[in-house]
Structures are given as structure tokens and as C-alpha cells.
Amino acid sequence: MIKKGILIFFVILNLNAQDQRVADSLVQYYNKNTLNNLDKLELLKELSFNELKSADLSLQYADELITLAKSLNNNYYLYRGYLRKGETLEDNGEINEALDIYFKAAEIAVKLNTRAEGIAYLSVADVYSLMEDTTNSNEYYKKSIGLLRIGNDSIPLASALLNAGDDAFNSNNFDLALHYFEESGLIFNKVDYLTGKAYNLGNIGMVYAEQGKDNLAEQNINAAITILEKQEDYYPVCVYLTYMADIYVKKNDLSSAFSYAQRSLDLAKKYQLKDQIGDAHLKLSELYEQNGDQTQSFAHYKNHIVYRDSVKNIEEVQKIANLRTDYEVSQKQGEVDLLEEKKKAQNIILYATLGVLLLIGVLAMGLFKRNKFIKATNKIIEGEKARSDKLLLNILPQETADELKTHGKVKAKHFQSVTVLFTDFEGFTKYSEHLSPEALVETIDYYFSGFDKIIKKHNLEKIKTIGDAYMCAGGLPFPSDDHAKRVINAAFEIAAFVDKIQKEVDKEHLNFNVRIGINTGPVVAGVVGSTKFAYDIWGDTVNIAARMESNSGLGKINISENTYQIIKDDFECEYRGEIDAKNKGMMKMYFVSAKKHKEAIKILANAVS
């Protein structure tokens, strides 16, 4: 599913729309180079604002504006230069650099007025929202709205409210989102700001769509699309079109859903909107999969991966998450330096008067600074702690993550009964020799993403992947009585998923068969590593499960005697002899048959459909 909302980037410092024709008409004055000081500052401001054809030119004008404004000590134009440079970088997908520039704009805005400061914080909040950093985006939206309310500045305030609503919407807080949208809608209607009305209608429509109110959603989104197409504002149109596709899927009208999704992709390609190209490909992949066309589904999914990775990657997210901390620390250091200068001045006066009062003043000032610094530091630490908690839960189970945070380490635990599953692809090595590394990773990702959905459905724990091998387990971190049955059910769906791809997709692109092995028994589970944590399990149970997989057949589920004794009353099994397991002697093996058991057949049918 694509990211649900859409951030609204209004040009709120200049109510006139950007116009390439203005830049084209002004460039002759720029080339003559006859203007000086304020006239040249204004020229550079207009050029950077209205230059739409070339991002490089817009950045060039903005950089010249910043340099000239610094030399003339003109904070207003310096602020405008930083803001425009940030907008251009953001439009270009250079999110890390844009956030850094927005923070510089905020530093200058403090010297101007609350309106400028509120707009700068709004830009910062928008970037954090794009990165799905809810803690920081929420903080800066509140700062922006509070400052803009002071000046009662209609369009900037409504823009901040609308974007804060979008941020709440992406966090599934639909009531809060509607609250923000209703207030911003009243302001846009009052000042008759057409662009604002359109975004407001579209975002309210998306809330209705999430709440299942499809008729209201369709009515609002269509009204928004009509307005925005007249204004040639195609980014939000692409987002709204994918939502229309979702609405028609719910109505079982796949033909209309395909039409809206394809229209979104065509517009996004035409105007080079990378993130929307990726989202449209993902939507078409989902539609083709639902329609039973796995070849087209896989092709669109690969294109989605390419554009997704070009817009947002893990390193970028990590850099952005660190930027705010650096900025806050630098701000606090500036406050400390200012207080030190005041202290020196006070010392000169106090030493000349009363030594006792000087001592009292110094102690009081020290306690005040310490208390203020502690509060500011705690606030920074809390934000970073929330971010680290979120990352930790991506790699460790909840219970294990909580233990690691509480004690600084994780004690290994013994589980008496756990069912372990291994899968491996036949012919993977031969297949990999004919593909580029990028294409190979995309192909494996396609299969493993499907496996991830299946084990999540059956409440199993993914342990790790090694090359083309996939390992998961049931019965941990919380013991349960039905883990063996749930693992078998998941195995049927994995086998059905691979078999479906094998039959329906051109073998030149996907030529995998899967082997599955399962064993049940005791394991030891724990966390390894001191800088990069990994949750893993050990014991003979794991080794035997791996032996079951290596001795399985193509498309077969091979289980051990241990697992057979647990599930034999629920599934039909076929005895297939014994193998000599190192240090274990002879071990019996069974194929689990889905065709001879009603429940297994039902599971297989659900997986294929």
C-alpha cells in the first residue's frame, strides 16, 4: 500500500503563482548585470522563485541571492534565499540537504518576525513528515501553527493546519486529521484560495475512503481533481487518482480501477514525479495480481522497487534523523555562550560592588543554566530514544527488545517446544549467474516479501535469511500449543505461492522450485552482536530442520518424526524412510500431503486464490 497522505507545499511567501514566463522575461536584466544592491536582490529572488524548467538554474539564483544578502547584511533576502533553495532541493529529492537549509532559514527567521519563523518551521515539519518521523514532524507543526496564529496570517496558517492534518492522517489518527482539515477549510473558503480548497477536498476524501465512506470519498476527490487539473497541479492529482483506484477496487470495478491507476502513472511520468511513479507502479502491480496476471504484476513491482529506492533510502533517513539533534544542540550551545558573555559583564560590575552578591549571583546563574540544560538535553534524548525504539522493533521481538533496553543485554532463553521451518530454492545458483546483482536482489525480494506476509498471517517469528534460504519458527518468543500446526499451514501457503509463480510467470524470469523442511523440538534463543543485533536460535532442532529441507523434494514439505507425532491427527502424512543424521543416528521423515486432508486443501485453495 502506498503512503496514504499528501503533503501540501504552498508558496506562502508570495501569493502569486510561480510562472516560468516571469523568469524568462527577467533573465535579460540578469545577463546585463547592471543592477546593484536591493534591485539585484529582488531580481534574484524573482528568478529563483519563478524558474521552473531548470532546477540547477533555480539553485544558482538562490545561491547568488544568499551570497549577496550576506554581503549586504540583509536578513530578509537571506531568509528568502535559504527558503527557496530548500524548496528546490526538496523538489529534486535531495531531502537531507533541504532539511539543513530549512534549519538555516529558521535561524535567520528568528531575527525577522513570527510569520517568517512559523513558515520556516512549517517547511522543517513537512520534511520530517515525508520521512515518517512523527515525533519531530508533530513538534514542528505545533511550533509553526502557534507562531502563525499570533499574526493571524490566513494562508500560511491554513497551510500549516492542512499539513498537520495530513501528518495525523498518515498516523491513522483520522479524527484529529478531520479536525485540522475542517479548520483549514474554513480559512481557505473565507479567503477564496482555490488551491487550498482543492487540497482540502482531496485530503478529506482520502479520510472518508479510509473510513469506508466511498461515495463521500469519491465526491470530494473528484471535485479536488477537477480544480487541480485546471491549475495544472499534477502531483496531488496523481495521489488522488490512486485513491480513486482503491475505491473502484472495493466496488469490484477493476476496469475503472486500472484506468485511474494508469492515468496516475502517465501523469507522474510526464511530469517526472519520482515518488508518484513508484506508487503508481505498486498500485498497478496490486491490480494485476488481483486480476491473475502475475507477469505484469511482477514487472510493475520491479519498477516500483527502482523508483522507491531512488526517492528514499535508509542512509538518507538516518542522516535526517540526526540533523534535528545537531541543530537543537547547536542552539543550546549558542544560549550557553550568550549566558557566558552576560556573566563576564556582570562580574565586572559585581566585583566593583559587593563580593558576596557576586557569589550568590554566580551560584544562582549556575543552577539556572544547569536546570535549563538538563531539561533541553532530556528532551533531545527522549526524541532519539523513541527513534531507536522504533528501529529496534524492526529487528527484535517486542519482549526481547524490552529486555535489551531494560538490562542492556538479553539473557538466552530455553524453549522446550518450537517448530522450525527452512526453505531453499532449487536452481538458485544457476539462475543467479545470468542476472545482475540488482535484478537478483529484486527477484529474491519479491519471493521473500510474499513469505513475510504469510508468516505474519500465521503469527510466526522470522529468524533470518541466508542467501536464498529462509528461516522462521513458531512457539517463540511466547510459547504456544498450536505452533506446529501453524507452521505447517504456513508451509502449504509458501509452497502454493511459489507454485503459482512458477506456473503463471515466464520461466525466463522466474524459474524457482522450493524445498521445505520442518522439525519440532527444544531450542535456545537469544541476541548476538554488540553493535548490530540479531535475534537467532540454536540447537539440534535447528540442525535437523535444515536436514529435513535438504532432503525434501521440489514443492514438498518434509517433516521429522518429532513434528509428525504432533500434527498426525490434523494432516495426512506419507512415510518416506529414514536418513542418517550426524550424531543422531537414523531419523524418520514424512511428506505432509495437502491433497488428502480437507483442512489442508482449504488452506491451499485460499493461498492460490
Question: How confident is the model over 37-74, as pLDDT tens digits?
Answer: 888 898 888 888 888 778 888 899 889 999 999 999 99
* pLDDT over threshold 80, residue 317: no
Distance CA 436, CA 440 (A): 6
For the stretch 213-225, pLDDT in tens is 888 888 888 888 8
- The closest alpha carbon to 203, from 264, 140, 161, 245, belongs to 161
Q: Before 477, cis peptide (omega within 30)?
A: yes
How far, in Å, CA of 511 to CA of 607, rounded?
20
Residues 553/528, Cβ–Cβ less than 8 Å: no
Task: Kindly list the distances between the CA atom of residue 41 and the CA atoms of 20, 47, 56, 74, 164, in Å, as whole numbers in the listed order.
Answer: 19, 10, 19, 9, 33
- Residue 393, pLDDT > 70, answer no
Band (511; pLDDT cuts 50, 70, 90): low
Q: Is the predicted pLDDT of residue 81 greater than 80, yes or no?
A: yes
Burial grade of 166 (CB within 10 A; 0-12, 13-18, 19 or more): buried
Q: What is the pLDDT of residue 46?
A: 86
- DSSP class of residue 482 equals S
* Higher per-residue confidence, 388 vs 317: 388
pLDDT computed for residue 315 by the predictor = 45
Residue 93 pLDDT > 80 = no
Of the ranges 22-26, 246-250, 275-279, 515-519, which is most confident? 515-519
Query: What does the mean pLDDT of the chain come to?
Result: 79
Sign of the CA dihedral running 208, 214, 215, 218: positive
What is this structure's pTM? Answer: 0.47
More confident residue, 151 or 497: 497
Q: Are 187 and 159 in contact (CB under 8 A)?
A: no
The pLDDT > 70 percentage for the chain reads: 76
Q: What is the CA angle 131-136-141, rounded to 5? A: 100
What pLDDT score was predicted for residue 353? 65
Sorting pLDDT into bands at 50, 70 and 90, what band is 597? very low
Q: Are strands 413-426 and 513-528 parallel, antiparallel or unpaired?
A: antiparallel
**499 has a pLDDT exceeding 80:** yes
Work out the average pLDDT over 158-166.
Answer: 88
Is residue 591 within a helix (H) or strand (E), and if so which, with residue range? strand 585-593
